[in-house]
């Protein structure tokens, strides 16, 4: 993960800030879910290689090889939690991003 | 940097008022990328059909060649949160969507389509709009942004 240091300037006062508390709560929850994915990547690779997974509160709430099916499942089962859910495509340890 | 494979990730919030859509996005901080982009899964998560979006007028080139991109006309608001839970918002004129890389795999006489999604990338246009300073500590795998 990555830290944003203390701001030396003023916070923005735009659309995001109109829903400040809700956005902050969602970001914090999403960060926890992302952290859980990072900490469990070795196990996830064994079970979900080349699948999309959705994680919320330390649980896999959906998984599928097919992106369209995956999002159908998520919208049906987890529409309320969708903003906070961490979505990850599980790649092989030997696959690297070169962007 | 303590994210997966020591990659510097940060959750942000993206709002697209013209489409009435918004959502939390996990960004890979990518100083090599001039513009902030969304990956296809993050766009689908917001309820936007990425493949029905218009093709941008400019080419998106990467290490692997030309990227398969779409474009969302702005304004698009992108926010990151600091350690004191303040939100830092930049308004972008538009935002590109990088579609998944698709491959066909042949296994056991069957053909299977595999999607390899790209991550959403926080590029230099966000960082420069907010006059950010990046601090890297590769010895301790630590990184932070100062605004």
- Confidence class of residue B139 from pLDDT cuts 50, 70 and 90? confident
Q: Evaluate whether residue A95 is within a structural domain.
A: no
A8 within a domain of the structure (yes/no): no
* Token pair listed for A48: 């979900």
Residue A35 lies in a domain: yes
Q: Is residue A68 part of a domain?
A: yes
- The verdict on residue A3 lying in a domain is no
Q: Is A69 on the interface with B (CB under 8 A)?
A: no
Query: If DSSP codes are grouped into helix, strand and coil, which group holds residue B137?
Result: strand
Residues in chain A: 99
Contacts 24+ apart (CB under 8 A), B70-75: B70/B96, B70/B97, B70/B99, B71/B95, B71/B96, B71/B97, B72/B16, B72/B18, B72/B19, B72/B38, B72/B43, B72/B48, B72/B96, B72/B97, B73/B18, B74/B16, B74/B18, B75/B17, B75/B18
pLDDT band at B3 (very low <50, low <70, confident <90, very high): very low
Q: pLDDT tens digits for A36-91?
A: 999 999 999 999 999 999 999 999 999 999 999 999 999 999 889 999 999 999 98
Q: Of A6, A49, A96, which is closest to residue B7 (Cα–Cα)?
A: A96
DSSP string, A9-56: SPPP-SHHHHTHHHHHHHHHHHHHHHHHHHHTHHHHHHHHTT-EEEEE
User: Does B76 score more than 90 pLDDT?
Assistant: yes
For residue A81, tell me if it sits in a domain: yes
Residue A52 falls within a domain, yes or no? yes
Is residue A38 assigned to a domain? Answer: yes
Host domain of residue A35: 20-89
| Cβ atoms within 10 Å, residue A33 | 25
Domains in chain A: how many in total? 1
The residue-averaged pLDDT of B12-38 equals 94
Helix, strand, coil: what percent of chain B each, to 5? 10, 50, 35
Cβ contact (<8 Å) for A5 and B63?
no
- Give which of A58, A22, A95, A25 is closest to B101, Cα–Cα: A95
Alpha carbon of residue B138 to chain centroid = 23
**Closest Cα of chain B to A47: distance in Å?**
17
Q: Which residues of B touch A83 (CB under 8 A)?
A: 23-24, 45
Residue A62: list chain B partners with CB under 8 A. none
pLDDT band at A6 (very low <50, low <70, confident <90, very high): very low
Higher-pLDDT residue of A64 and B105 is A64
Report the gap between the CA of A91 and the closest CA in chain B (Å): 9
Residue B73: pLDDT over 60: yes
pLDDT value at residue B6: 63
Structure-block tokens of residue B125 = 């246009």
Identify the pLDDT of residue A98.
75
């Amino acid at each position: 993960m990555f830290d944003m240091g203390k701001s030396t300037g003023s916070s923005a006062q735009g659309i995001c800030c109109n829903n400040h508390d809700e956005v902050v709560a969602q970001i914090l929850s999403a960060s926890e879910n992302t952290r859980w994915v990072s900490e469990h990547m070795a196990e996830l690779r064994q079970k979900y290689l080349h699948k999309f997974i959705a994680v919320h509160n330390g649980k896999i709430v959906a998984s599928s090889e097919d992106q369209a099916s995956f999002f159908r499942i998520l919208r049906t089962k987890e529409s309320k939690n969708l903003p906070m859910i961490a979505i990850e495509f599980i790649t092989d340890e030997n696959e690297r991003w070169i962007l | 940097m303590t994210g997966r494979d020591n990659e510097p990730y940060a959750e942000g919030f993206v709002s697209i008022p013209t489409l009435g859509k918004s959502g939390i996005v996990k960004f890979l901080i990518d100083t090599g990328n001039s513009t902030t982009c969304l990956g296809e899964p993050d766009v689908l998560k917001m309820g936007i059909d990425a493949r029905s979006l218009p093709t941008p007028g400019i080419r998106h080139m990467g290490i692997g060649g030309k990227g398969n991109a779409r474009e969302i006309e702005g304004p698009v608001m992108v926010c990151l949160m600091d350690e004191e839970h303040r939100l830092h918002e930049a308004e972008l004129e538009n935002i590109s969507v990088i579609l998944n890389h698709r491959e066909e795999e042949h296994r056991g006489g069957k053909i299977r389509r595999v999607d390899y999604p790209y991550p959403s990338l926080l590029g230099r246009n966000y960082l420069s709009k907010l006059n950010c300073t990046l601090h890297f500590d590769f010895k301790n795998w630590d990184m932070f942004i100062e605004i």
